[in-house]
């Protein structure tokens, strides 16, 4: 039994085994990793790729994560908030192109109180009752998460970023805590959200052992969605001189996660596309089943700089969709018009 067989049957490996798999130079083992992950994704989703429309509705943030260009200490960034009509316009364009999930993502912006956020959620649900709303607004209180859920939000993305608390403390100011982040995730699950977590690959000071902890934490959380992507430096942050995460390591992490979580919705993220022109396609071939094209107007995308967009912004939505569509079609995959909810695996009979 090799490492892939063990991962598939037991759902987990030891730290040492994960490290070996992440760095193996055995070409046959590497090929088996990707092939197994791809076959599992095919068994769960066929060749259908779910699409989510990303709306980056505010780049104000009061937090100060060291890796992120939206951090409050970055005074060079021109800040914006999308007026509600613009958010609804993004939804309209997206709906007409077949999107049935809208992802509202932003910095932690105190302007968006529960009342304001609930108003936006209700307005979208009123116009598009057949669509799912995913929020990605960072850490909020249990009460706030409950209100947003009651207003109609379906899903919530909150990456844990790293499951090692020492590493967490090297990526964030001292008052931030991994335990609080994890509590938010458990709160969200207890309310009934489809919850997404995940981490950056190749973030500064990351050791391979930490990735093994990420896998272990995710196994415990068992999220409906798992978003991972390479760290990419932003020139206006303290990590400006740090190296970006690698495509290969990110793809191996995606494949491992697909084998561990056959039914999870796993996006092939924009950051992968930033590293390599076909990065998002490679993510799909490594077992991801979701793409998140950007519905934000191009002028806005230029200011939503979590990291430096090496090749510039995505281009128009239509161009981007055509490009992705062609890349997928060359491998027999297609984007589908579907909410793409999480369907957990059936419970094994005892």
Q: From the CB of residue 189, how many other CB atoms can be counted at a distance below 10 Å?
A: 17
Distance CA 323, CA 329 (A): 10
- Orientation angle between helical segments 3-10 and 27-45, nearest 10 degrees: 30
Distance CA 155, CA 105 (A): 12
Judged by CB under 6 A, which stretch of 21-29, 57-65, 263-271, 311-319 contacts ligand SF4?
57-65
Query: What is the closest distance, in whole angstroms, from the C-beta atom of residue 173 to ligand SF4 in the complex?
Result: 10
Among 231, 261, 304, 333, contact with ligand SAH (rule: CB under 6 A):
231
Which listed option, ligand SAH, ligand SF4, none, makes contact with residue 229 (CB within 5 to 8 Å by class)?
ligand SAH
Which candidate, 21, 82, 14, 49, places its Cα nearest to that of 332?
A: 49
Among 18, 50, 57, 67, contact with ligand SAH (rule: CB under 6 A):
67
Query: Which of 70/132 has CB closer to ligand SF4?
Result: 70
Q: Between 119 and 148, how does the x/- string for binding to ligand SAH read (CB under 6 A)?
A: -----------------x-x----------
Interface of this chain with ligand SAH, residues 263 to 302, rule: CB under 6 A: 271
Q: Between 95 and 134, how does the x/- string for binding to ligand SF4 read (CB under 6 A)?
A: ------------xx--------------------------
Q: Which long-range contacts (CB under 8 A, 24 or more apart) does 343-347 make?
A: 343/263, 344/224, 344/263, 345/262, 345/263
What DSSP letter does each residue of 127-153 carry, written as one string? H-TTSEEEEE-----HHHHHHHHHTT-
Query: What is the closest distance, in whole angstroms, from the C-beta atom of residue 159 to ligand SF4 in the complex?
Result: 8
35 within 8 A of 279, measured Cβ to Cβ: no
- The angle subtended at Cα 48 by Cα 40 and Cα 124, nearest 5°, is 120
Which listed option, ligand SAH, ligand SF4, none, makes contact with residue 151 (CB within 5 to 8 Å by class)?
none
Query: Which of 69/279 has CB closer to ligand SF4?
Result: 69
Distance CA 124, CA 202 (A): 36
**71 forms part of the interface with ligand SF4 (CB under 6 A):** yes
Query: What is the closest distance, in whole angstroms, from the C-beta atom of residue 324 to ligand SF4 in the complex?
Result: 25
Which listed option, ligand SAH, ligand SF4, none, makes contact with residue 71 (CB within 5 to 8 Å by class)?
ligand SF4
Among 3, 33, 65, 218, contact with ligand SF4 (rule: CB under 6 A):
65
Which candidate, 73, 52, 70, 60, places its Cα nearest to that of 308?
A: 70
Which candidate, 288, 228, 264, places its Cα nearest to that of 49?
A: 288
- Strand 155-157's sheet: what is its strand order? 53-58, 101-106, 132-136, 155-157, 194-197, 225-226
Judged by CB under 6 A, which stretch of 38-46, 155-163, 182-190, 291-299 contacts ligand SAH?
155-163
**37 forms part of the interface with ligand SF4 (CB under 6 A):** no
Judged by CB under 6 A, which stretch of 48-56, 59-67, 126-134, 260-268 contacts ligand SF4?
59-67
212 within 8 A of 249, measured Cβ to Cβ: no
Which candidate, 154, 161, 116, 112, places its Cα nearest to that of 137?
A: 112
**64 forms part of the interface with ligand SAH (CB under 6 A):** no
Query: What is the closest distance, in whole angstroms, from the C-beta atom of residue 39 to ligand SAH in the complex?
Result: 28
Q: Which residues bind ligand SF4 (CB under 6 A)?
A: 61, 63, 65, 68, 70-71, 107-108, 138
């Amino acid at each position: 039994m090799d490492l892939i067989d063990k991962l598939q049957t037991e759902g987990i490996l030891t730290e040492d085994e994960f490290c070996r798999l992440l760095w193996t130079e055995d070409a046959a083992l590497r090929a088996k990793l990707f092939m197994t992950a791809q076959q599992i994704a095919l068994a769960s989703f066929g060749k259908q790729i779910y699409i989510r429309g990303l709306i980056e509705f505010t780049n104000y943030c009061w937090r100060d994560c060291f890796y992120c260009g939206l951090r409050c200490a970055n005074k060079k960034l021109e800040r914006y908030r999308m007026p509600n009509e613009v958010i609804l316009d993004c939804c309209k364009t997206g709906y007409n192109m077949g999107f049935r999930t809208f992802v509202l993502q932003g910095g932690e912006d105190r302007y968006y109180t529960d009342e304001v956020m609930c108003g936006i959620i209700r307005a979208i649900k009123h116009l598009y009752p057949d669509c799912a709303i995913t929020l990605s607004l960072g850490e909020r209180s249990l009460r706030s998460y409950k209100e947003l859920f009651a207003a109609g939000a379906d899903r919530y993305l909150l990456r844990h970023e790293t499951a090692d608390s020492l590493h967490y403390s090297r990526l964030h100011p001292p008052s931030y805590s991994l335990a609080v982040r994890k509590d938010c995730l458990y709160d969200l699950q207890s309310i009934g959200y489809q919850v997404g977590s995940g981490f950056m690959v190749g973030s500064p000071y990351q050791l391979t052992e930490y990735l093994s902890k990420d896998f272990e934490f995710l196994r415990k959380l068992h999220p409906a969605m798992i978003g991972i992507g390479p760290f990419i430096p932003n020139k206006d942050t303290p990590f400006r001189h740090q190296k970006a995460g690698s495509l290969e390591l990110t793809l191996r992490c995606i494949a491992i996660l697909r084998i561990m979580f056959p039914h999870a919705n796993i996006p092939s993220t924009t950051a992968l596309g930033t590293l390599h022109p076909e990065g998002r396609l490679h993510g799909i071939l490594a077992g991801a089943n979701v793409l998140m094209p950007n519905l934000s107007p191009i002028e806005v995308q230029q200011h939503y700089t979590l990291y430096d967009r090496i090749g510039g912004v995505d281009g128009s939505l239509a161009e981007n969709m055509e490009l992705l569509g062609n890349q997928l079609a060359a491998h027999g995959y297609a984007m589908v018009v579907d909410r793409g909810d999480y369907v957990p695996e059936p419970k094994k009979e005892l």
